[in-house]
Structure 1
Amino acid sequence: MASKVEVPCIKVAILTVSDRCHAKKAEDKSGSKLRQLISENIFFPGQVVHQDCVPDEVNAIKEKLLAWADSKEVDLILTTGGTGFSPRDVTPEATREILDREAPGLNIAMVTSSLEITPLAMLSRPSCGIRGGTLIVNLPGSSKAATECLRFVAGALPHAVDLLQGRMDTVEVTHREMQVAVAMKEVRDKASPLREAPPSVTKPHIHRSNSLVDETQVANRLRKSPFPMISVAAAVDIVLKEADMLNTHVISYKDALGHVLADDVYAKDALPPFPASVKDGYAVVAADGAGNRKVLGHSTAGSKPDFGEVIPGHCIRISTGAPVPKGADAVIEVEQTELVKSADEGRTELEVKILHPPTIGQDIRPVGCDIKANNKVLSAQSWIGPSEVGLLATIGVTKVKVYKKPVVAIVSTGNELVDPGVQLKRGQIRDSNRCMIESLLEQGNFEVIDMGIIKDTPGSILEALTNAMEKADVVVTTGGVSMGEKDLLKQVLQIDLRARIHFGRVFMKPGKPTTFATVNTEIGKKLFFCLPGNPVSAMVTCNLYVVPALRKLSSRLRARNTIIKAKLGFTIDLDPRPEYHRAIVSWVEGDDLPVGETTGVQDSSRLLSTRSANGLLLLPAKTDEQASLPAGHVVDCMIIGRM
């Protein structure tokens, strides 16, 4: 089972060291940028609890560092500025004076990584260390350099803070993840030892993978997955925890379908804005009772009235939705009247007979009976469907603030794959995964980008994932996550993209090698769902993990899939793993529960097993006590289509 340990939020203080910024002669861009990165959880879960600016003076710097570190309210202090060669660059000296212990590894990591960007990094003099339970890190003064140096060490900072704060449960989880990474690296090192590049080799292209795997060393490939097996429930919990709601924007009501409202919506006007007739008939004075009435004119919806006030003994012909004229307090439907007198060969009514006495208010919609002016019509977090779009139009709200919906990039991996329209050659198969997943997600009203098919090489995978990450919030891949020598996705994610792989195996059938990872970037967190290549596995796991995550990113209140009870329409032998059995679910007349009928052979490569399937029957794992389930047995069923 996966650990349920929560990732603690690091309490951060930011200190800008600058004479000019302190004197308000320059803008504190570095401090503002660091605050933005931390507030948006770009590098780690963080919260800025203090921020200040001091001049380049040792005592001023020391005073602020001591106050924050000794308050026991701050986990991490980031300073920016004062680490260079200028006579007034004294931040490292001031920092060292108050440290209990130094942390030179952080200094080395920042300077070494910075040297790959500019040789001038050798002139940087950061000092990092510990005071009490607080970690202090010196960063350069420029916004760009401060951001880069923080990125270089950010991966180690949460673990360092956990150690300082004694959070041993979180420390143990991190150690287990490191052991997985080490195990994978050991296998890669055996497969392809590091070799020094000849002097003529130039700096690699940004999409050149750093993977150390020699794909020709098949015998030395990894033979056991280093990733622990977790349950589906634990996997779903992890996915939803990592899927943060996206930002908001203002759009036209016509484009709002499928979005979630970010603000409450209020009616500008009452509905109806005037007393309106419910039926076609005559507006009358109720006190007149039954009997003959002279017709003064007519009132139709949207037209200018050709009459004055209704007086006793008279009436106005009126249509459904039209304004009820002054003086009238009831409407009598046309079916309850008789024509008495007409003119112009029947074109004009002069007098009618009311057959039944009306009551006051009969068939009249009073002002605001549907919606009162300034009433809240839709609440924030409401999902906008067709009816909600109609409501927005009705109350005249043409612009609404909504949460953005995620953009999803879909990639298929596999040397054997070709597009559907290609004539097959020996060893090739047509790619059905992209169009299937694209249709599944578009059915949920999500925007999808088709990134095509990529080859099973580290460089191709890195280039495709990098491009997808730039264009989308979520990247969905199929294939390349099992134990074959060409299954390279996990290592490219870990080594090249520095992704955090949250899980790499799930106890389920089909879909065991499903992998979920996240990458923190300066423009936000990116979610990676690496689904198995078998079409059925891809479809099932997309429903289980991707669809709920997209709902959560869109700010839907109910992100999880709908689960109902259903009866088995067949007898089935259970599998050692919990199975998600494709089924056609329908109600039988007179039965209290729907019945799930199998779609046939459930092999993960057999796409026919998904045909007409609208449910996944959640079958338990086989045990010594229970090896099969009989027809009529009640199980949970996940709804994935129309019933």
Structure 2
Amino acid sequence: MADSKLKAAILIVSETASQDPSTDKCIPTLQQVFADLGNNQWEVAETEIIPDNILDIQKSIRTWADREEPINLIVTSGGTGFATKDVTPEAVTPLIDRHAPGLVHGMLASSLAVTPFALMARPVAGVRKQTLILTLPGSPKGAKENLEAVLKLLPHACVQAAGAASRPLHAGGVKKLEKDAGVSSGSAAGASGAASGHHHQHHRHGHGHGGHAAVQPHTKPEDRPQSNDPSAGPTRRYRSSPYPMLAVDEALKLIEEHTPPPVIERVPVDMSLGGAVLAEDVKATESVPAFRASIVDGYAIRIPSSGKFEKSVYPVALVSHAQAGDVPELKEGEIARITTGAPLPPGASAVVMVEDTVLASLTDDGKEEKEVEILTDEVKPGENVREVGSDVQAGDVIMTKGEGITVIGGEFGLLASIGTKEVAVYKRPVVGVLSTGDEIIPHERSGPLRQGEVRDTNRPTLLTAVRNQQFEAVDLGIVSDKPGALEESLRSALLHVDVLITTGGVSMGELDLLKPTLERSLGGTIHFGRVNMKPGKPTTFATVPTKHSSSSPAATRQSKTIFSLPGNPASAVVTFHLFVLPSLHKQAGIEPAGLPKVKVKLDQDVRMDKGRPEYHRAVVSVGRDGALVASSTGGQRSSRIGSFKGANALLCMPAGEGSVGKGETVEALLMGRVGVVGR
């Protein structure tokens, strides 16, 4: 380290400067500070200008601090004030392993000597791995003063952070350290007259931009305590959850409130439409049928201008089959053999059923009809004819916004019949499913389990549940409990899916890091972290701001939903149906959202839980009297996935003492088809 310069990076956080770098004045100002006061110890190796965005800030810092040869010092400028969109401290704080409050105090003290508004800044300082990070004000003058206040001390800090032994560095005591740094006791840390003039520390950034793209929290700080630091050891973890226990109805309201609205897309009319919901009315672009067609097998006739058709023997002048092709005009006194669905020849007035005719003569080769006798004279114009547009008229609304499209019903056939090429539907969200835990192994791995290993049943079960609901499911595998691996996997997953389902890691164990990773590392908002229910108490619902997966340069940032379900198998399945499914339905435009709720009669006593409402797995069927009857699947431990075998419903059991008796009625949520007792 002594033989080479320390490497510094300057990160400007500004919406305006990111769009027009020529407006930035901070980079040259700070470069000059390093040149003038750096004692030839610094090389400004990297500079970058980014918008006011938590994820962008964190990405730049990680890039510089986490690489094989990390930057020694990162200074940011901008976004440290109290404006709603000033988010630099929120972005930087979760990345810091060890905070440096002394440097913060020194920067504030230096600025306070200039203006009381210095106290309106929110600087952050600390070490990430081997890199020192400082956040400076957005104005060039404020940034200059803050950096000048501490710059002479930073080489010592950076050398230590890089791993140098402390004992040799401190040989000779404080006096030697002060001398080497060019500072003296009782002085500002080498500020060199920095405290002159005024600058405003409310910091809407010196680039004159009109606002920062911040992540807006949806709860008050006092109602939304932040979870543990993922990098903190077990001795510094919470001993009880900081999240309030919500009722199920309250949790469902939060899901409804924070689930993103449906996205509309135009898609081709093909078999993949099954399960989609229309986002706009569909109008017929052509009439059905598009030609006059016969509805029976028989003979097309032309009624004379006199209006009276006579019983007689008529020559068979032509044949019309139900296939494409031109049909010659039918002349008066002629008939045409015609099949069901075939177009009427031009000039034809009606169709006589084959049952009302007899063969009169054959052609010379004996293979075709030559003449046919018509046995009735009661045929009316238009008889046995399907007129143009009699099914659908061009311009008619054939399906309305909000209707679902099935492949077993007539909706797909109706769209296809009128030649609809594409329709606007609500995009069905893509759902990613991952399991967390170093103890989890793939369920299909052969051989006996080793001590502590658990086969992954949740992930394949949830993937199946998602696909059964006609949503695309992406298998994201098993992720380690280690904070870095978990964060990286979550961040990558959110670029490719709309909804993320995780299982495990949401309780209070030493390795349950999902909640703190969502909040502190991903900048997410946890809307609830505990629900008063059995099973599924630690269920967590969060939203995370994420860049749209589109490759377009105009790609926008959007909020994506994360459901962190308990690790116990039965809990995971119950909470999927209860909480995840309504969110998927809302994003897909499906109404009503969630499972249908019905009244059922118990065919046995069902015990209640004293403390929490329970969602009891059961089989619901139609009784002999037509009423719905429910039978428990047995033991309801949250780890007992066997309680779902054959289950098609969740009984909504209230909390209380004792049991709900046989023959009494309770509400149930239907998860599947209902059979009939005795079948």
TM over 0.5, yes or no? yes
Map 1:164-563 onto structure 2 (within 5 A).
173-178=220-225, 181=226, 184-185=227-228, 211-215=230-234, 217=235, 221-254=237-270, 255-285=272-302, 287-288=308-309, 292-304=313-325, 307-311=328-332, 314-343=334-363, 344-354=365-375, 357-386=378-407, 387-422=410-445, 423=447, 424-522=449-547, 523-563=557-597
C-alpha distance in 1, partners of 2:558/2:253?
21
How big is the alpha-carbon RMSD for the aligned residues of Structure 1 and Structure 2? Answer: 4.2
The Cα of 1:358 is off from its aligned counterpart by 3.4
Q: Deviations for 1:396-420, whole angstroms, at most 9, x for unmatched residues?
A: 2223333332222211112321112
1:241–1:106 CA distance, 2 compared to 1 (3 A)? farther
Could you tell me which amino acid in structure 2 is paired with residue 640 of structure 1? M
Q: Conserved in 2, the CA contact under 8 Å of 1:77 and 1:137? A: no
Could you tell me which amino acid in structure 1 is paired with residue 637 of structure 2? D
Q: Conserved in 1, the CA contact under 8 Å of 2:251 and 2:528? A: yes
Could you tell me which amino acid in structure 1 is paired with residue 604 of structure 2? F
Q: Deviations for 1:13-65, whole angstroms, at most 9, x for unmatched residues?
A: x99799x99xxxxxxxxxxx89xx99xxxxxxxxxxxxxxxxxxxxxxxxxxx
The Cα of 1:281 is off from its aligned counterpart by 2.0
Aligned to 2:28: none
Q: Conserved in 1, the CA contact under 8 Å of 2:651 and 2:668? A: yes
SS at match of 1:288: coil
Map 1:611-630 onto structure 2 (within 5 A).
611-623=645-657, 627-630=658-661
Aligned to 1:582: 617
C-alpha distance in 2, partners of 1:600/1:578?
17
C-alpha distance in 2, partners of 1:595/1:540?
20
C-alpha distance in 1, partners of 2:401/2:134?
46
1:540–1:350 CA distance, 2 compared to 1 (3 A)? same
**Off by >6 Å, runs of 4+ in structure 1:** 14-18, 75-78, 109-113, 117-122
SS at match of 1:442: helix
C-alpha distance in 1, partners of 2:505/2:663?
39
C-alpha distance in 1, partners of 2:134/2:382?
80
1:599–1:395 CA distance, 2 compared to 1 (3 A)? same
Percent of pairs with identical residues: 37
Aligned to 1:633: 664
Map 1:70-85 onto structure 2 (within 5 A).
none
1:608 aligns with 2:629: no
C-alpha distance in 1, partners of 2:619/2:654?
19
The Cα of 1:556 is off from its aligned counterpart by 2.6
Q: Conserved in 2, the CA contact under 8 Å of 1:338 and 1:355? A: no
Aligned to 2:154: none
Q: Deviations for 1:482-515, whole angstroms, at most 9, x for unmatched residues?
A: 2323222112222222221111111111111111
Q: Conserved in 1, the CA contact under 8 Å of 2:16 and 2:208? A: no
5+ residue gaps, structure 1, are 1-13, 22-32, 39-74, 79-100, 127-135, 160-169, 186-209
1:347–1:109 CA distance, 2 compared to 1 (3 A)? farther
C-alpha distance in 2, partners of 1:345/1:365?
33
Structure whose alpha-carbon radius of gyration is higher: 2
1:137–1:281 CA distance, 2 compared to 1 (3 A)? farther
C-alpha distance in 1, partners of 2:266/2:126?
43
Map 1:105-116 onto structure 2 (within 5 A).
105=120, 108=123, 116=133
TM-score by length of 2: 0.66
1:263–1:306 CA distance, 2 compared to 1 (3 A)? closer
C-alpha distance in 1, partners of 2:399/2:632?
41
C-alpha distance in 1, partners of 2:498/2:141?
35
C-alpha distance in 2, partners of 1:289/1:635?
72
The Cα of 1:622 is off from its aligned counterpart by 1.7
The Cα of 1:124 is off from its aligned counterpart by 6.5
1:120–1:491 CA distance, 2 compared to 1 (3 A)? closer
* Mean Cα deviation higher: 592-601 or 232-241: 592-601
The Cα of 1:120 is off from its aligned counterpart by 10
SS at match of 1:361: coil
Could you tell me which amino acid in structure 2 is paired with residue 556 of structure 1? I
Q: Conserved in 1, the CA contact under 8 Å of 2:577 and 2:594? A: no
Could you tell me which amino acid in structure 2 is paired with residue 249 of structure 1? E
C-alpha distance in 1, partners of 2:206/2:366?
95
* Mean Cα deviation higher: 342-351 or 477-486: 342-351
1:107–1:572 CA distance, 2 compared to 1 (3 A)? closer
**Match 2:204 to one of 138, 158, 172:** 138
5+ residue gaps, structure 2, are 1-13, 22-50, 55-82, 87-115, 144-201, 548-556, 675-679
SS at match of 1:260: coil
TM-score by length of 1: 0.69
C-alpha distance in 1, partners of 2:134/2:278?
43
